[in-house]
Amino acid sequence: MRGLVGGLLLVMVGTAAWAVDDGDRSAARATIERQLEAFKKNDPATAYAQAAPQIQSMFSSPETFLAMVEQGYKPVLHSRSYSFDKTEDAEGDQLAQAVMLQDDEGVDWMALYLLQKQSDGQWRITGCHLKKAPGTSA
């Protein structure tokens, strides 16, 4: 599992310097956690608020955003459990955060979140790449 995470992080962030500080790491994880908890509570407004403005502009409302997540990211929307793995610095004010999660059917997944630090200092999600964990059948 860690080999997959490391490989995906290298692909996603290229040859950027690995200089994420603890404050950024914690703030980015808190953003992801707010969104995952909002999904569990069926709170589309809070989940949508964690997305970067360029993502929000793609959806007419928090409910439309939630419908997209329901269609393409069910393991994220309906996670039974999750834990944070590696965090890597990307270019500029961006980072990649790996999250190991298990869906409500017990299938293990790896979500690679991409986040960007906004002008107000807040970290917001710019993307999520989802893959089944190695060795997972279902």
Q: Which stretches of the chain are DSSP H helices?
A: 2-13, 22-40, 44-49, 53-56, 62-72, 74-77
Q: Work out the widest C-alpha separation in the chain, in whole angstroms.
A: 42
Of the candidates 129, 112, 128, 109, the residue with the CA atom closest to the CA atom of residue 47: 128
Query: What pLDDT sits at residue 20?
Result: 64
pLDDT digits (tens, 9 = 90+) for 73-130: 999 998 999 999 998 887 778 999 999 999 999 999 999 999 999 999 999 999 999 9
Which pLDDT band holds residue 9 (cuts at 50, 70, 90)? very low
Would you list the domain boundaries of the chain?
2-11+19-132
d(CA 6, CA 131): 13
Sheet (strand 94-103) strand order: 79-89, 94-103, 108-117, 123-132
pTM (whole model) above 0.85: no
* Mean pLDDT for all residues in the chain: 87
Q: Where does residue 1 rank: exposed (0-12), middle (13-18), buried (19+ CB within 10 A)?
A: middle
Please say whether the beta carbons of 103 and 78 come within 8 A: yes
- Kindly state the tokens that stand for 104: 């409500």
79 residue type, one letter: S
One of 3.10.450.50, 3.30.70.60, 3.40.50.970, 3.40.190.10 is the CATH number of 2-11+19-132, namely 3.10.450.50
d(CA 133, CA 131): 6
Q: How far is CA 31 from the centre of its chain?
A: 9
